[in-house]
């Protein structure tokens, strides 16, 4: 198993890397923040995929993404394009490169419950995640007959660095720590907590490895979209 994982330096990508490293997989890890065993690269750069050798690739986790927080009428076009560049353009370029390299295998794209349920102040993020979920279905329809499966996962709240910023800062100031802030934010979900990145990684592994599943969006949101 040879797996490409983008956004591999933190959060869900890092958890996916740990999951498959423990299973002896051959990993190609990409992140804008390079590090040990991680290739530094910008997924929005088309030339990145000319420089990375994907020979023998069997699986991919298209995961790199960033967040936003703004009302539609207040968001600058520059901010809109920044989110779309990473979350949609970057996903497209990664998916395209993976599809060209994989003869038989599977790809998972990280979407979000924000792409399914409308949350205020997530205009660009929610729109980008809705788009990649649909993109995964189109790719699944185009590639199923040649043995390449494509699925998406739509997590809800997950304890990752994407929350770090103004949203969580107010909770930290009130409650005294990031841990207590995450706990408080997750308490409003039906299951009463945010997911751990390792839990989402296991669900991604299911989508990568279950050979009868393609064209699905696994909503793993702790029930918040009910």
CA nearest neighbour of 28 among 60, 62, 3, 63: 3
Q: What is the mean pLDDT of residues 131-145?
A: 98
125 carries an active-site annotation: yes
- Per the prediction, the chain carries an average pLDDT of 94
The pLDDT value recorded for residue 55 is 97
β-strand pairing of 26-31 with 105-110: unpaired
Whole-Å CA distances, 202 to 17, 48, 73, 85, 160: 11, 28, 38, 27, 16
% of the chain exceeding 90 in pLDDT: 79
The pLDDT value recorded for residue 81 is 97
- End-to-end alpha-carbon separation of the chain, Å? 36
* Host H or E run for residue 104: none
Reported as a single tens digit per residue, the pLDDT across 147-184 is: 999 999 999 988 887 777 766 777 787 777 888 888 88
Reported as a single tens digit per residue, the pLDDT across 66-105 is: 988 899 999 999 999 999 999 999 999 999 999 999 999 9
* Host H or E run for residue 50: helix 48-51
CATH value of 2-156+196-219 in 2.60.40.1220, 3.40.50.800, 3.65.10.10, 3.40.50.720 = 3.40.50.720
Q: Where are the domains of the chain?
A: 2-156+196-219, 159-194
The pLDDT value recorded for residue 182 is 83
Reported as a single tens digit per residue, the pLDDT across 19-59 is: 999 999 999 999 999 888 999 999 999 999 999 999 999 99
The pLDDT value recorded for residue 200 is 97
CA nearest neighbour of 203 among 163, 134, 160, 152: 152
Q: Does position 138 have pLDDT exceeding 90, yes or no? A: yes
Q: What is the mean pLDDT of residues 184-206?
A: 93
CA nearest neighbour of 158 among 38, 49, 67, 47: 67
3-state secondary structure of 30: strand
Give this prediction's pTM: 0.92
Indicate which residue of 49, 125, 171, 194 is catalytic.
125
Q: What is the mean pLDDT of residues 184-195?
A: 89
């Amino acid at each position: 198993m040879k797996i490409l994982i983008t956004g591999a330096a933190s959060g869900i990508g890092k958890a996916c890397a740990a999951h498959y490293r423990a299973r002896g997989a051959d990993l190609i890890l990409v992140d804008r923040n390079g590090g040990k065993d991680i290739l530094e690269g910008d997924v929005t750069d088309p030339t990145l995929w000319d420089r990375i050798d994907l020979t023998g690739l069997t699986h991919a986790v298209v995961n790199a993404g960033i967040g936003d927080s703004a009302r539609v009428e207040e968001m600058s076009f520059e901010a809109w394009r920044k989110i779309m560049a990473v979350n949609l353009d970057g996903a497209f370029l990664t998916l395209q490169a993976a599809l060209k390299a994989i003869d038989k295998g599977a790809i998972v794209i990280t979407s979000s419950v924000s792409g399914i349920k409308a949350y205020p102040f997530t205009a660009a993020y929610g729109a980008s995640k809705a788009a990649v979920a649909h993109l995964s279905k189109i790719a699944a329809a185009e590639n199923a007959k040649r043995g390449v499966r494509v699925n998406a996962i739509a997590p809800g709240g997950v304890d990752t660095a994407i929350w770090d910023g103004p949203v969580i800062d107010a909770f930290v100031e009130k409650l005294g720590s990031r841990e207590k802030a995450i706990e408080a934010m997750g308490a409003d979900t039906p299951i009463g907590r945010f997911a751990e990145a390792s839990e989402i990684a296991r669900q991604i592994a299911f989508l990568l490895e279950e050979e009868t599943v393609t064209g699905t969006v696994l909503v793993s949101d702790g029930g918040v979209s009910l």
